[in-house]
Structure 1
C-alpha cells in the first residue's frame, strides 16, 4: 500500500525541516561533515572495508530522509573500489527505512546544496521510487552499491528482514529525528531487532546521547560508549554488538521451515548451472554473474527463448487488486524493480520495447466498478496506477475509445526473445557466462554438488549448484513430484497492422485479452488459456477464439470490426501454480526428509520446527503469464539468497513465493499434496 509523503519546509539555511516532527533532516552547519563524523568515522569506515573478507558489506540505516548518509557512504565506497580493484569486497549494500518518504521534488531541492555528492545524488534521483510500502531495490552500479529503501514504519519493516542466523548487518547508522521529537522510533523493539540483525562484529553509531537510548541498546546486547559529538553537540553514542547469537536464536523465534540461507554462501570460486534458456533462466544467469559467480546456461534446443518467452511481443504491467494482498504487493514491487532493470539493460544492450503505458479498460460495468474501487481505496500510489475517463483514454491510446479504465503509465510492451538475448549478451560481457545449447538434462544427482546427466551427448556435467528455470519443461523434471505444477497453453496472434484505426494504437489495451501497438508491422493479440495442454501447434479455432474475445469485450468500440488476422500466430505453454505465485528458492524438503514437520498437523508452531535440509538444487519457475513482471526481482531474490546478501522482499512475501510453501501448508492442513 502507498505511504504518506513527508511534509517539509526549508529554513533560512536551506535545510529541510519536517513539519510533523519540527526537526531538521541534517545539521544546519554541514550535513556532509555531520555524516562523516557521526556515522562514517564512528563506524570506522572506510578503514573496516580494507580488512573485510567477504564480497559484500551491509550498512543498515534507521531513517533515510534525504538519503545524504547513503550518498556519502556510496561515494566513499566507490573511491575504495577504485583504489582497491582487486580487493575481495566488491559490493556495498545500504538498507534504509523511511516512514514518510520525501517527494522527489523536495529531495532534489534538499540535495542540490551538496555539490560534493552531486553524482551519487543524480544516480539516486534517476531511480527514486514512488511512495509504496515495502522494499525498493535500486542498483547503483556506478558506485558498486545496492540501495534498499524500505518504506513504512520501521517497527513493521525490520521484523520482515530475512537474515542468516549469524546476522545480516555489518554497521548501523542509527539515525532518525531526535528522540525528543520522534519517541515512537527509539524503542526497545527497535533495539531488539537491531540485535537480531547484527553480526558479532557489527558496529553502530548515532548522533544522540540520550540515556534511555544508551540503556536500551545495552540491554539488547550492544556495548556502548559516549564519544565526542558533532559541532555544538557535546556527546554522541557509538558501540558494537557483543551479544550471543546462539542465545538470540531463542529470543527471536521464526518460521524455520522457510529459512532461505541454508547453503554456504556462493563465492567467485563456485560454478553454477542454470537450466532453461527462457526469461527466468536468463535473469538468473545475469543476476549471478553480476555477483561475480561463474555460470553455465543450458538450454535443451538450439535457440534461446523457444518456449513461453518466445512470443514476439508481451504486455508489461502488474496485476493489482483493490486490496494490498501478498499477490498484489509482489506484483507491484516486481513491476517497479523490473522497469528499472529493463531501462538499465536497454542502455547497455538495446532490445525492442516501448514504454507506452498499459490501459486496463472498463469493458463492462462490473469491471469499471472494480477498477474504481481499486483507486478509491488509495492503497496504490497514483504514480503506479490511476483512473482515466474515456476522453483521456482515447488521447492516451491514439484511437477512439468509448470507455475509460486504469492506466499504468510505466508499463508498455517488450519483445521477450530480444530481451532474453540482451540479458545473455550482457551476462557474457562479464566473461563469466557460457551457453550450452542442445543440452537436455535427463536427471540430476545431488550430494555435495550437482551432477547433470545429458543423455543426448551421453555425458555428465558437475557444478557446485544448479538452478532449474525450466518453465513448462519442469513437468518432465523432479519438480513435478514436489510442486503442483499447472501447464496452460496460450496462443497469441501476430495480426498485420493494416487497420486504418488500429495501426495508430499507441498503448497496450487490456480487457479479457490484450492488444499491443505495432512492432515491425504487426500487433500482438492474445491470448487463449487452455489448461493441461502442452501442445504448441497453431490452431485456427484458437485464432477465432482470440478474435471473438476481442469483439465481445470491445463490442461498443467503433473499430472492433477492423480486427483481422492472416494466420500468423504462435502457441506456447506457460507454467503456473495453484496460488498463482512463482516458486523461487531451494528445492523443497519433503516430509520423508524432515518427518518431524508432521507435528504441524497437531498444532505445533513453525517456530518449533527445524529448518529444511540443505540442497544444491534451486529453482525459479511458475511465472505463468507474468514473467516479464516478476522474473528480474525473483532472480535477484534467488541470487541474493545463494550469496547470503540482503533480500529485497519482506518475509511474508518470501514465504508466499517459497517452493516449500505447498508441503508446509498441506502438512498443516493434514493432507497430502494434490
Structure 2
C-alpha cells in the first residue's frame, strides 16, 4: 500500500529527470507549450468543450509525473468556465495514474519553472496526497475540477476502474516516459483497457509516434492520425475511438452483474432527490448532491439534526488499520484521508462565511500498546511497513508521553492527521453549507413511513411521511430517494433483506480534572478518551448488541470506567477520576462484515433466483445487472462513521450521476448493497 517515490535529478535546464527511466518529465524547451500542443490541442478540447452537452467531461492520463498536464488542463477548463458561465458543461474530471509519485518538494521545485501556473500549482500542493496506493480524490472547487490521482501500476489500476457499459473516458492524455525508455507501460493490456473505458468518439493525444503505439491503438478500435509533433519531434499521434469497430473486444465491456453501479438513469440538475435521515450520512449525501446542482430535500423525524449517534458532543477521528493491506484497512485509510479533506473544507467554509463553528482538534490519535497481545499486533503492523508514516507510525513511551502531555508508560501507534470533532456541530455546518447553495430544503418532524415506485414519463418514487406527531400524512414524489436512517433502518421494512447489526453505545462525559485536563491527544485502547471540550472529556464506549434503547445506564458507566482502568492499569489516572454521571447513549448500525452498505436498495430475497448461475462457477459478467432502482441507501457506518461517511456519500452520489468513482472495483464491491446476496449465490446458499 505504501508507494515508492520517484528518484529524480534536475538537468542543466532545470528540467526534472526520472533516474529510473533516464527520461525527462517534460520538454526542456517549454513544458506548458508541449502539453498545450500534444494533449489540449491534440484532443481538440477547446472545440469539444464548446459543443459538449453534458455536465461533466472526463480526461484520463497515464502518467501524472509533476502534475503539469493536469494543471494546464485545469487552467484551460477554468478559463472555459469563466467565458461560458451558462454552458451545460460544469465540471472537469481528471483521472490519472502514477506508479512512482514525486516527493512533494521535487514536484513543487519542478513546477516553479512555470510561474503562469502559480495559483494552480499552489492549489495542488495544498492537497497533494501521501504516497499511499489507490485513489486519492481531490476537489479543486475554485477551478471546477476534480482530480482522481490513482497511485500504483497502470496495468493493475485500469482494470479496477468502474465504467458504464458505454464507456467512462472522453479524452486520453497518453503520457508516460517514451516507449524506448518505459516499454512496460506501452502494452496491449494498456490499449485494451483504454478501449474498455472509452466512449464512441473518445479522443487521445500522445507525444510519441512509435509503431508499437500506433499499431496497438489501431488494433483495439482507435482511428489513428499523425500530426506535427512538438519542438524537435517531427510527429505525434492522435485518434478517435469507435466502439463498433470490429477490433473492439466487447467482452471486456461487460458489467460485473450485481456489482454494476450505473444501472439507473443519471441524476442531473433537473432531478429532485429526497434524503431521509438526520445524521452524518444524510448530511454528507445532501452536500454531495447540492454541489452537483441537484435539488435536494432532507426529511428527518425530530425538531433538530443529529438526534442519533451523530449527536455526541465529541467523536474520535481515525482509521482502523491492520498489518496487512486488507480490503477493510484500505477502505478505512482512503476514507480517512478523504474525510480529513472534507472536514478541512467544511471548517474553513464555516469560518469564511461566519457560520456556526465546528469544534475540533486535529491533535493526533495514539493507539496505546496497553498489553502484550496489543503490543505484538502493533509491532507486526510496524514491521510490515505497509502504511506511510504520514498516516501511522510507531512511537515509544517517551514520544507517547510528550504527545499526550501525560506520563504514560506505554508505546503505541500515532495517527498524526487524526483527532476529534463534534459530530453534532459538523452535521450542522455541512447542512448550513448545503443550504447556502439554494438547492437544499429542510423538512423536520417528518417520519418516514414507506415508498413505492411509480411510472410517469419516467420512473419516480412516491414517499409517505407522518408529521406533526403522526397526526397528519404527507405524500411526496421525487426522482430518487436516499435512505440514511442510521439505526432507524432496523424498523423499516425496506431493509428486511439485509442483515443489520444495531449496537448500543454509551459514552461518558467526564468533568475535566487533574491530570487529564493536560491531555493533548486522543487516547485509544479498548475504549478512548479525548482532550477537554467545554469542560468535559468523552470516555467510551460500550458495545451492546441488538439494543435500541438510549437511556443512560449506571452499569454501563461502570463498564466504561473499568475498561479504562484495565487498559491504563500501569497508571493511576482512571482510579483517581471523579465522575458526576453525565453520559449519552445512542445506537450505531453495522453489517455482518463490518463494512458500510452503499448503493441501490432492493428486496434482495426476491432477486436471488436470478443469480443461481454464480453457484455453479459462472463469472459475475454472466449474471444480470440489478434492476434500475429509485431508492438507494447509505447506512451501516457503525462506530467509524466520522471516518467513512464523506467518501461513502461521494461514491453513492457519483454513481447516481454516472461520474467516475473514487474507489477500485474491489473496494466498491466490498460496500455494495448486493454483496450479501451475491456471496450467498456464489456459495449456493438459500
Give the structure-2-normalised TM-score.
Answer: 0.97
Aligned to 1:308: 309
Stretch of structure 1 that moved more, 473-482 or 49-58? 473-482
Provide the rounded CA distance (Å) in 2 between the counterparts of 1:248 and 1:139. Answer: 34
Provide the rounded CA distance (Å) in 2 between the counterparts of 1:245 and 1:335. Answer: 43
Match of 1:453 among 436, 448, 464: 464
Provide the rounded CA distance (Å) in 2 between the counterparts of 1:36 and 1:373. Answer: 48
Provide the rounded CA distance (Å) in 2 between the counterparts of 1:506 and 1:479. Answer: 44
> What pairs with 1:76-475 in structure 2 (closer than 5 Å)?
76-244=76-244, 248-349=249-350, 350-447=357-454, 448-455=459-466, 456=470, 457-475=472-490
**2:494–2:603 contact (8 Å) kept in structure 1:** no
Provide the rounded CA distance (Å) in 2 between the counterparts of 1:523 and 1:172. Answer: 52
Provide the rounded CA distance (Å) in 2 between the counterparts of 1:392 and 1:213. Answer: 53
Provide the rounded CA distance (Å) in 1 between the counterparts of 2:577 and 2:69. Answer: 56
Instruction: Report whether the alignment pairs 1:27 with 2:34.
Output: no
Provide the rounded CA distance (Å) in 2 between the counterparts of 1:501 and 1:630. Answer: 33
Runs of 5+ unmatched residues, structure 1: none
Instruction: Report whether the alignment pairs 1:650 with 2:685.
Output: no
Q: 3-state DSSP class of the match of 2:45?
A: coil
Q: CA deviation digits over 1:187-206, x for unaligned, max 9?
A: 00000000010000100000
Provide the rounded CA distance (Å) in 1 between the counterparts of 2:138 and 2:545. Answer: 37
Q: 3-state DSSP class of the match of 2:366?
A: strand
1:480, distance to aligned residue in structure 2 (A): 2.9
Q: 3-state DSSP class of the match of 2:684?
A: coil
Provide the rounded CA distance (Å) in 2 between the counterparts of 1:307 and 1:589. Answer: 26
1:668, distance to aligned residue in structure 2 (A): 1.5
Provide the rounded CA distance (Å) in 2 between the counterparts of 1:280 and 1:96. Answer: 28
1:74, distance to aligned residue in structure 2 (A): 0.4
**1:313–1:524 contact (8 Å) kept in structure 2:** yes
Aligned to 1:667: 681
**2:527–2:564 contact (8 Å) kept in structure 1:** yes
**2:497–2:605 contact (8 Å) kept in structure 1:** no
Aligned to 1:503: 517
Q: CA deviation digits over 1:477-516, x for unaligned, max 9?
A: 1343121000000000011012x21001000000000000
**2:223–2:242 contact (8 Å) kept in structure 1:** yes
Count of matched residue pairs: 671
Q: CA deviation digits over 1:609-641, x for unaligned, max 9?
A: 111111000000000000000000000001100
Provide the rounded CA distance (Å) in 2 between the counterparts of 1:92 and 1:513. Answer: 43
Instruction: Report whether the alignment pairs 1:522 with 2:533.
Output: no
Q: 3-state DSSP class of the match of 1:58?
A: strand
1:250, distance to aligned residue in structure 2 (A): 2.0
Provide the rounded CA distance (Å) in 2 between the counterparts of 1:478 and 1:177. Answer: 55
Provide the rounded CA distance (Å) in 1 between the counterparts of 2:682 and 2:494. Answer: 21
Q: 3-state DSSP class of the match of 2:638?
A: coil
**1:589–1:613 contact (8 Å) kept in structure 2:** no
**1:384–1:409 contact (8 Å) kept in structure 2:** yes
CA-based RMSD: 1.1
Q: CA deviation digits over 1:64-89, x for unaligned, max 9?
A: 00000000000111111111111111
Q: 3-state DSSP class of the match of 1:440?
A: strand
